[in-house]
């Protein structure tokens, strides 16, 4: 993620056209090692006031966010008003050296889909910055500690974020739990029939107006979210921002095209939003790229039809897919799967488990079995020894115990395993998980791993 992406979604799970804006990121806090170092300029660490901001602080807070993300540190009245109604001031923290805000932190309510479809309450963290003049004074640690303590008090099961920099959040118990992959499709190489005129299954592709998307999109997303671990909820503000109702200075809005797949019965089973550039080569030949802003499909037929549609648009020679799951079906829809190459891949949603028992009981399991986990939590109070007992129907119970453990691991590595994307056997080979009983890592994989990888398409 670039600094340009880091600010515009600071009021919701937003993805705006201008650079896929938004970040749960931390540009500017990479050097905040959490210690009490008082070197550098400004006040000593204990003289810096870390507190929830009040309404009059918002302009200075936004300036600090922009400074941390290396954006022009100018805050307009429009910026302030657009965010005033969206922010929960009690969950928007600032560190103040005198009257100036020098570090920022914000959280808001979220739901994450666990394996099996349960919606788990989460503390979503965003807009984390520390001004370069105030690094290594423990400001991030103070803000994170306060926020996670409040999240536990509220009863949140996990905390989530999307990290602009990898090394920062592991020390707070977060682990990467999903992977995001982007493909670039070379349309002439796919082997698809360029004369494709629509699906052959009785369904159809229709272009929609934006009002139709605002009406149909939220329900379709909820249908998809309930069946895909790692996905997060999209509130009304997300749809307003991603259909052009809410716009932000410095992030020009480009109206997308919207297309829907309707099944033979007329039901919308897929939606896509995409833009196109205008690139004609010196030989007056089109080399235009369709860029997918988001694509939702609740059936394979809808998914296949929407990708085929995108690859059949006149003058489009490349399709950029946007953020997809690493096991997305797209390449296999193509007669020549090599027509789709991976053009970007990264860790995406990071998770911090705040309640081990509720987190493990919220999801379902691939087989029956019992596993005693020794969970280390060096940065918080959430560790301990727990017996996980999965039943044949996929449900499970979890309880604290004192008996000998089968597997030892950190709270961050448990978060990495929780959505089913990582292998305990792999982590054992890396020395991050320790088997106390032979075969425990393999049993953990049988219990925890999923047949389809978790996916979080959103930035926040």
Token pair of 222 as six digits: 């909820």
pLDDT of residue 43: 66
User: Given 87, 108, 174, 460, which residue is catalytic?
Assistant: 460
Annotated catalytic residue within 69, 105, 169, 172: 169
Q: What is the pLDDT of residue 277?
A: 95
In terms of Cβ atoms closer than 10 Å to its own Cβ (0-12, 13-18, 19+), residue 17 is buried
Burial bucket for residue 85 (CB in 10 Å: 0-12, 13-18, 19+): exposed
The pLDDT of residue 446 is 98
DSSP per-residue codes, 270-335: EEEEEEE---B-TTS-B-EEEEEEEEEESSHHHHHHHHHHHTTSTTEEEEE--SB-TT-SHHHHSS
pLDDT at 258: 98
CA 400 to chain centre: 30
Each residue's pLDDT, cut to its tens digit, for the chain (460 residues) gives 433 334 444 433 333 332 333 334 443 343 343 333 333 445 677 789 999 999 999 999 999 999 999 999 999 998 898 888 889 999 999 999 999 999 999 999 999 999 999 999 999 999 999 999 999 999 999 999 999 999 999 999 999 999 999 999 999 999 999 999 999 999 999 999 988 989 999 999 999 999 999 999 999 999 999 999 999 999 999 999 999 998 887 778 999 999 999 999 999 999 999 999 999 877 788 999 999 999 999 999 999 999 999 999 999 999 999 999 999 999 999 999 999 999 999 999 999 999 999 999 999 999 999 999 999 999 999 999 999 999 999 999 999 999 999 999 999 999 999 999 999 999 999 999 999 999 999 999 999 999 999 999 999 9
Distance CA 258, CA 208 (A): 5
Other CB atoms closer than 10 Å to residue 88's CB: what's the count? 11
**108 assigned to active site:** no
The yes-or-no answer on residue 460 being catalytic is: yes
pTM for the structure as a whole: 0.91
The pLDDT of residue 18 is: 29
Closest CA to 80 of 5, 10, 3, 6: 10
Q: What is the rounded CA–CA span in Å between residue 277 and residue 300?
A: 28
């Amino acid at each position: 993620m670039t600094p340009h992406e880091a600010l515009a979604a600071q009021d919701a799970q937003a993805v705006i056209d201008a650079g896929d804006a938004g970040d749960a990121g931390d540009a500017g806090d990479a050097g905040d090692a959490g210690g009490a170092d008082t070197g550098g300029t400004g006040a000593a660490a204990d003289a810096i006031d870390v507190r929830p901001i009040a309404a009059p602080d918002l302009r200075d807070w936004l300036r600090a966010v922009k400074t941390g993300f290396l954006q022009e540190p100018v805050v307009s009245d429009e910026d302030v008003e657009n965010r005033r109604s969206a922010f929960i001031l009690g969950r928007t923290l600032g560190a103040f050296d005198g009257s100036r805000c020098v570090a920022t932190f914000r959280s808001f309510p979220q739901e994450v889909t666990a394996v099996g479809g349960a919606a788990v309450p989460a503390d979503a963290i965003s807009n984390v910055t520390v001004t370069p003049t105030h690094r290594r004074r423990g400001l991030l640690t103070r803000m994170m500690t306060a926020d996670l303590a409040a999240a536990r008090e509220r009863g949140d099961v996990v905390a989530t974020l999307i990290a602009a920099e990898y090394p920062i959040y592991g020390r707070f118990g977060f682990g990467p739990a999903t992977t995001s992959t982007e493909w670039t499709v070379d349309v002439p190489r796919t082997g698809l029939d360029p004369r494709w005129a629509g699906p052959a299954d009785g369904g159809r592709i229709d272009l929609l107006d934006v009002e139709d998307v605002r009406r149909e999109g939220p329900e379709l997303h909820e249908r998809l979210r309930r069946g895909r671990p790692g996905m997060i909820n999209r509130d009304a503000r997300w749809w307003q921002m991603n259909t052009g109702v809410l716009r932000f200075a410095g992030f020009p809005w480009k109206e997308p095209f919207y297309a829907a797949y309707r099944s033979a019965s007329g039901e919308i089973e897929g939606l896509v939003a995409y833009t196109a550039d205008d690139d004609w080569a010196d030989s007056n030949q089109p080399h235009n790229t369709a860029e997918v802003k988001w694509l939702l499909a609740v059936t394979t037929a809808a998914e296949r039809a929407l990708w085929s549609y995108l690859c059949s648009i006149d003058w489009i020679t490349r399709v950029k897919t946007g953020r997809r799951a690493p096991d997305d079906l797209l390449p296999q829809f193509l007669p020549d799967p090599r027509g789709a190459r991976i053009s970007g891949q990264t860790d995406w949603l990071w998770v911090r488990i705040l309640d081990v028992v509720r987190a493990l009981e919220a999801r379902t399991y691939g087989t029956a079995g019992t596993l005693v986990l020794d969970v280390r939590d060096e940065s918080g109070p959430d560790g301990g020894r727990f017996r996980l007992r999965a039943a044949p129907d996929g449900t499970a119970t979890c309880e604290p115990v004192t008996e000998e453990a089968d597997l030892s691991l950190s709270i961050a590595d448990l978060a990495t395993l929780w959505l089913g994307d990582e292998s305990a056997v792999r982590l054992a080979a890396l020395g991050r998980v320790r088997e106390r009983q032979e075969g425990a890592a393999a049993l953990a994989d049988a219990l925890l791993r999923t047949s389809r990888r978790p996916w979080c398409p959103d930035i926040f």
